[in-house]
Each structure stands twice: as C-alpha cells, then as structure tokens.
Structure 1
Amino acid sequence: MSNITLEAKNITKYFHDPTTVKVLMDINFSVNKGDFVAITGKSGCGKSTLLYILSTMDTDYEGELWIDGESMVKRKEPDLARVRNEKIGFVFQFHYLLDEFTVLENVMMPGLKLGKYSAEEVENRAMEKLKMLGIENLALKPSNQISGGEKQRVAIARALINNPQIIMGDEPTGNLDQKNSQIVFEVFKQLAEEFKQTLLIVTHDQSFANRTHRIINMEDGKIIA
C-alpha cells in the first residue's frame, strides 16, 4: 500500500481577470503519511492559491491532484465536498468558532455534518480530541470566553474530529503571539510524530517552517526548493 497521502502533478493555474496571468507553474510534489510540511514564500507567491487547489475548493486548474490514492480531477462538487469532509481537516489564521456555541459543540460540528456516527459517538470523539490537546476542561465554556491561543487549539480539535488523512493550515499561527504560536507548533509536531497525522501548513513564519520535517519554498508561482 502506498504511503503517499497527497500528490500534486504538473499543477498550473491561471487567473483571467482582466488579463490572463499564470499564477502557478508546473507544481509537482507529494506528501507522505505522518509528514509535517511547511509551504513558505513571500506574499503573492501563490502558496494560498495552491492550498486552495490542494483542498479541492478550487477545481479550475491544469494538472492532477491525488488524495489518498484517488484522483480529484473531474469530480462533481458533492463528491469533492465528501472528500473535504472525510479526508481533510482545516485550520485557518482566524479560528471561525461560533460564539453562541460551547467549545464542545464547535468541535462536534463537522462530525455531525458528516453524518457517519451518532451524536453520542461524535461527542465522545470530540472529548477525545480536546483531551489530546489538553483543553478538555474548556469543553462546556462558551467559545467567546476563552483566549486566542485556546481558540486555535479548539479549531485544531475541530479539524481532527473526522480523523482526516491530512490537516491543511493557512497561516494557523498568523494571529497568535510567540507563546501561543509555540504551543500550536508543538501540537502539530505531536500530531505528526505520535499520531502519524499528515500536516501541510502554509506559513510566512520562517522559525515555524524551519522546525517542520520539510519546507516547500515558493516564488512567483513555482517551487524553488
């Protein structure tokens, strides 16, 4: 069985407004199970555009994307939505927690949406993830009553709820101070090394990137290292 979780083959992307501009050129790389990979580069180099394609949210590109051994090319949107829900967990710069719900309810949401397990099972899984991240004591707190660093850990627990093949992050420490950035980094490192979770993180934080397993460095829509 292949160890490759995600593979990009010759991915090229154009923007057509108002003139045609090539924003990604011939992107080729693969990510294995348990890899902790950072995608870095200056603002505007194409890293977030690439992540958007890799997450199956943008289908307007040339080339091939493979996730968990399946090609994502020419898939219908409901099928891609299922792949996103089952196989990809997302952590963004802004945590996007819903203030009116508790921490536990926020973590449960993608699990309930997937509809694969009973509400009770989803709740048990959510508590497991909160424990794993050392924040089970916050479960019943309204999500607007916890700190920024805690919110980002809740967002990571939510990303893990469906046991995805890969966690994708877009500047997940971009909004945090140094102490909380360090905590989030340690969480990611533990997920990769202890739990064999695959992580693909877009970041401009070079000290964060330098401590991952591998850096993919981009410039002007190309991988340069």
Structure 2
Amino acid sequence: MDGQKVIEARKINKFFYSPGKTQVLKEVTFSVKKGEFVSVMGKSGCGKSTLLYILSTMDTDYEGELYLDGNLITGQSSNYLSHLRNEKIGFVFQFHYLIHEFSVLENVMIPGLKLNQKSREELEQIAMEKLKVFDMQDHALKKANQLSGGQKQRVSIARALMNNPLIIMSDEPTGNLDKKNSDLVLGIFKELVQEFHQTMLMVTHDFDMASKTDRTIVMEDGMIISHG
C-alpha cells in the first residue's frame, strides 16, 4: 500500500428538503487509500447509502469537497462525471441489475461498451477474462435470467471490473444472498484486494461482513463516529 488516496471526502454536508430541511450528512471527512478494503457501517437511515451516492458522483447536490485520484471532482459537469464514473468506478449493488435478455458475456461488457475505447472483439476477450476470475466462463452465453442469485452476483462483480476501475463501490452486496453466497462474495472481494490490489469501499449494516474488511468507518445520525 503506497498511501495514495484514491478517494477523499472533506466536510461533506447533505440536506433533504421534504417537507422541512433535514441534514442527513454532517461534516463527513475521510479517505480511502489505494489497495484498501474499507466498509462503511451503521444502522438503516444513518446516511451511509446517501454518502455512497455522493462518493460515486451520482449525487452532486451537497456541500464540501470530493476528490478522486487526487483531483477535485466537486462542481464538475455531468458529462465529465458520467465519463469518470464509467472509467474509474466499478459498482456492485445488492440487486445485481443485470439485463435479463442479454447474455452473461454481454452484461459484463456493458461498462466497456459505454466507455467506447476498444473494439467489440477486444471487449469480448476482456469480459471472458473477468468471467474466468470467478469461474463463470462456461456460463458466458447463457441469458442472465438462467443464473442463480450467487452466480448473478459474481457476474455483476466481473462487470464492475470490466474497465479496471480505480475503486469498486458496493452497496449491501450480500443483502439478498444466503450465508454461503454471502461468504463467497466476501471471499471474492478479499481476493480482489489481496491478489489484484483493487481498492474497495463497501456499505453494509452487517457487523460480520464489516469485521472482515481492513477498516470500518462507523456512521451514526449522518456523522462518522469511528474511522476504524
């Protein structure tokens, strides 16, 4: 770990305005270094998913500063942020958001197709390599709806890796999986960090999941109460 900050939040404040003004994030400041596996934990409603939405550049309506790879991204245009997201951030959600009528291979290729920097042939090759990491290459031509829940989540992780992102952000990735598949997904995450030096940020309310990451940031009532 070379100490390089991949993402840094400085004094992030977020308000919701329905019906009255409610502050949901209060002076949130922290950073994640290259190759770190960090979890953000807290009870439902503590602001962790709201924070992830801001960190992932999908919500730009906040106060404070956000840096990605050393660059200030607060205040950048939506086109710039869209490209940045696609190039530098991989996403894994509780619900895998696979397109059912697409093949497994096509689903994994989507971030590469969006980035539009390589030929379709190159992208197919890269997608197959990512599927091999998760032992899913034999399912490449199946439709996504033919897979089990655990297999779908593995495909969604392969998809998150498609553009070799700077960081993977994950929101309750095992929320709808049983223990066996949850352990499998967590094992994959740990392997990505250890073998591929991937930086990971995972939001979870599951103490057991959080305890297996390098560091846990604990949130309560929109504030960070512990940096782990």
SS state at 1:86 partner: helix
Per-residue deviation at 1:49?
0.3
Structure 1 counterpart of 2:203: 202
* Aligned counterpart, 1:96: 97
Once residues 124 and 209 of structure 1 are traced to their aligned partners in structure 2, the CA distance between those partners, rounded to angstroms, is: 34
Please tell me the residue identity of whatever aligns with 1:59: T
Match of 1:216 in 2: 217
Superposition misfits of 4+ residues, deviation over 6 angstroms: none
Matched AA of 1:180? N
* Separation in structure 1 between the aligned mates of residue 187 and residue 133 of structure 2, nearest angstrom: 12
CA shift digits 1:121-159 (9 cap, x unpaired): 111110111011121111111111111000000000001
CA deviations 1:59-85 (Å, max 9, x no partner) are 011110000111111100000001100
Distance in 1 between residues matched to 2:114 and 2:39, nearest whole Å: 29
Structure 1: state its 5+ residue gaps. none
CA shift in 2, pair 1:215/1:2, >3 Å? closer
Please tell me whether residue 51 in structure 1 is matched to residue 52 in structure 2: yes
- Distance in 2 between the 1:74 and 1:146 partners? 40
CA offset at residue 56 of structure 1? 0.3
Mapped to 1, the partners of 2:142 and 2:100 lie a distance apart of: 10
Aligned to 1:180: 181
Hey, what's the Cα distance between the residues in 2 that align with 1:2 and 1:79? 26
Q: What is the percentage of aligned positions where both structures have the same residue?
A: 61
Moved more, 2-11 or 52-61: 2-11
SS of 1:163's equivalent? coil
Structure 1 match to 2:63: 62
Once the 2 structures are TM-superposed, how far is the Cα of residue 205 of structure 1 from its aligned partner?
A: 1.4
> Cα RMSD (Å) of the superposition?
0.9
Corresponding residue pairs, total: 225
Unaligned runs of 5+ in 2: none
CA distance in 1: counterparts of 2:67 and 2:126, whole angstroms:
28
1:2 shift after superposition = 6.2
Q: How far apart, in 1, do the equivalents of 2:217 and 2:138 lie?
A: 37
Moved more, 133-142 or 46-55: 133-142
TM-score (ref. length: structure 2) = 0.97
The answer to whether structure 1 residue 165 and structure 2 residue 166 are counterparts is yes
* Counterparts of 2:107 and 2:219, CA distance in 1: 34
How do 1:51-130 and structure 2 match up within 5 A? 51-130=52-131
What letter is aligned with 1:187?
I
